[in-house]
Amino acid sequence: MCSQSLAERLFELFVAREDVYGVETSEGWKTEKGRLTPKEVQDHLNGKYTLGVYPFNKKGYIKWLCIDLDYKSGEYLTIYMGKKFGKNSIIEEETGGKGTHIWAFLQPTPLWQIAHKITEMENEFGVRIFPKQREWRNDIIGNFIRLPLGKHHKTGNWSRIVKGDIWTVKPYVTCIHRVYDQFEDGNCLAIDGTVGYCQENLCPHLLKRGQRYGH
């Protein structure tokens, strides 16, 4: 049996900002300021209310991207995101309403490092992608999005995961050496040109480390 509860797992994957969050009840959505913990996530799973989570923390780091669709079928976009970030980093969720969310999980990554790629994907497919912001400032919190596996209080239906697995999904490992600078100019010969990160097997930093320790 896994020692981690489902509430703790959702908190680990989805919660970037812990001091503000959205709450949906039968009366609609509102923003709450206060500490978000796995206890509130458990209440979300129990249907007491539904949580909305913000995409970046106080330092502008994000843990996921989410394609927000107004229709049920997102299979082709799930495949596309799997090719971009690796299929083990993706889940597809039916929200309990009329829409679909496709989530790509990332190692915590500065928004500026991936912002232009988000815009490229939006323009290519004509879809909405969270975070909506392309620049981070310490005076903005962004837009929250519905946390999976909760109750949609307008329809009474529950969110469900239709592709991927909450327990086995692995965040895409971005280059810890930040091979792109703040102007999105590449400064590493190992960049593969896909999402903006290096090929791990060619990373000169990792190669040097391996040589140093005889790996």
Cα-atom radius of gyration of the chain, to the nearest Å? 18
Q: In angstroms, what CA-CA distances link 174 with 9, 57, 63, 156?
A: 21, 17, 11, 38
Residue 164's Cβ-count burial label (10 Å; 0-12, 13-18, 19+) is buried
Residue-wise pLDDT for 147-159, tens only, equals 999 999 889 999 9
- The pTM assigned to this predicted structure is 0.80
Element (H, E) at 10: helix 6-14
Q: Quickly count: other Cβ atoms within 10 Å of residue 146's Cβ.
A: 24
Q: What angle do CA 194, 197, 202 make, to 5 degrees?
A: 100
Q: Give the bridge partners for 105, in sequence order.
A: 64
Domains, the chain, ranges and CATH?
6-163 (3.90.920.10), 175-215 (no CATH)
Within the chain, which residues score under 50 in pLDDT?
1-2, 178-187, 189-197, 208-215
- Distance CA(197)–CA(44), nearest Å, equals 35
Residue 80's Cβ-count burial label (10 Å; 0-12, 13-18, 19+) is middle
Q: Quickly count: other Cβ atoms within 10 Å of residue 194's Cβ.
A: 11
Q: Quick check: 131 and 111 in contact, CB under 8 A?
A: yes
Find, among 55, 195, 196, 34, the residue nearest to 136 by Cα: 55
